[in-house]
Amino acid sequence: MLTEEQIEQFHRHGFTVCPGFLDAHTVQELLREAEGVIAGSTHANHDAERMEMEPDGAVVRRLYEPCTHYPQARALADSDELLDGVEQLIGPNLLFHYSKLNMKPAEVGSVVEWHQDLSYYPLTNTDSLAVLFYLDDTDAGNGALKIVPGGHEGVVMDHTRDGYFQGRVTEAMDDPQAALIEGPAGTAIFMHGLAPHASEPNTSERPRRTLILSYRAADAFPVYCGPMTAKHDVHVRLVRGEPARAARFNITSFPIPQYKDKVASLYELQQRSREGEA
């Protein structure tokens, strides 16, 4: 369970940090599972449905939907301890939304630019969060997460250029206001879906693996944006409480991401945006 103070921090700052949420054994099991999946993957020979490679190195940068495909990650997603915390923040009726494991490998781990998760997934209300689990000791050197405290209280920020979705904030941002979230392996960060966040490339000799699980209130229905809405929602399932009979709205206008050519991953979109193509 989260403490009253952690709940208050989440609502005030848009995130709360829980060191020691996972014990060392669980972290090791999650890492063993992930390493088993990526073993032997190369640019030329990898399962592009399940993972994405770093462009500059023959290493995996992200596993897609580990909680759908792999039992250790799934068990964590459905665990009472985690769902109790999520329920304390966004209510008793909960959908599992999506998951990913960002590997941020030593020396090559890609930058993640400022963005709000909900810019990718328009919903009828904003009761949505991600839980990010550090699976390695994490600090500024290996690309710790940065979050703008209080940034979740506004609207969806501009993530477009010339009307097209860039996958990153395109309006001016006050980077020095950001909190750097350092912590030992096993730390959990509960982060609101509108919290602006980012991380630097990993220039250290240590990996920075982070498992990310997202949940939303059962009455937060997706706004239809084309076939990708259905594609995202195949991983969605009720994990606690009752299914919703009606959509609840707490937002009157939600920007719809328009992709110029094709739907692309966060990393690809942001890369193309930097190069001026997205």
Ligand X SMILES: O=C(O)CCC(=O)C(=O)O
The residue range among 98-106, 154-162, 175-183, 227-235 that interacts with ligand X, by the rule CB under 6 A, is: 98-106
**129 is an interface residue for ligand X by CB under 6 A:** no
Residue number with CB closer to ligand X (104 or 240): 104
Does 266 sit near ligand X (CB under 6 A)? Answer: yes
Question: What number of chain residues touch ligand X (CB under 6 A)?
Answer: 11
Is residue 216 a contact point for ligand X (CB under 6 A)?
no
Which three-class secondary structure state does DSSP give residue 15?
A: strand
Cα 235 to Cα 3, 91, 98, 111: the distances in Å are 30, 20, 6, 26
Quick one: 218 or 269, whose CB is closer to ligand X? Answer: 269
Nearer to ligand X, 194 or 240 (CB): 194
Sign of the torsion formed by the C-alpha atoms of 27, 111, 192 and 126: negative
Q: With CA atoms as reference, report the closest residue to 157 among 201, 193, 110.
A: 193
Q: Which is nearer to ligand X, 18 or 211 (CB)?
A: 211
Taking CB under 6 A as the rule, does residue 102 contact ligand X? yes
Contact flag: residue 119 with ligand X (CB under 6 A): no
Nearest distance from residue 145's CB to ligand X, in Å? 5
Which of 100, 145, 152, 121 minimizes the C-alpha distance to 216?
A: 121
146: closest CA among 101, 190, 197? 197
Q: Which residue is nearest to ligand X (CB)?
A: 199
210 makes contact with ligand X (CB under 6 A): yes
Of residues 166, 199, 270, 271, which one binds ligand X by CB under 6 A?
Answer: 199
Residue partners of 62: CB distance under 8 A and separation at least 6:
51, 52, 100, 101, 102, 103, 265, 267
68-97 residues near ligand X, rule: CB under 6 A: none
Picking from 176, 184, 168, 1, the residue whose alpha carbon sits closest to that of residue 80 is 1
Asked whether position 185 contacts ligand X by CB under 6 A, the answer is no
Residue 1: both structure tokens together: 């369970």
112 binds ligand X (CB under 6 A): yes
145 binds ligand X (CB under 6 A): yes
Query: In the complex, what is the shortest distance from the CB of residue 278 to ligand X, in angstroms, rounded to a whole number?
Result: 16
Q: Tell me how far apart the alpha carbons of residues 56 and 134 are, in angstroms, rounded to a whole number.
A: 24
Contacts to ligand X by CB under 6 A:
100, 102, 104, 112, 117, 145, 197, 199, 210, 212, 266
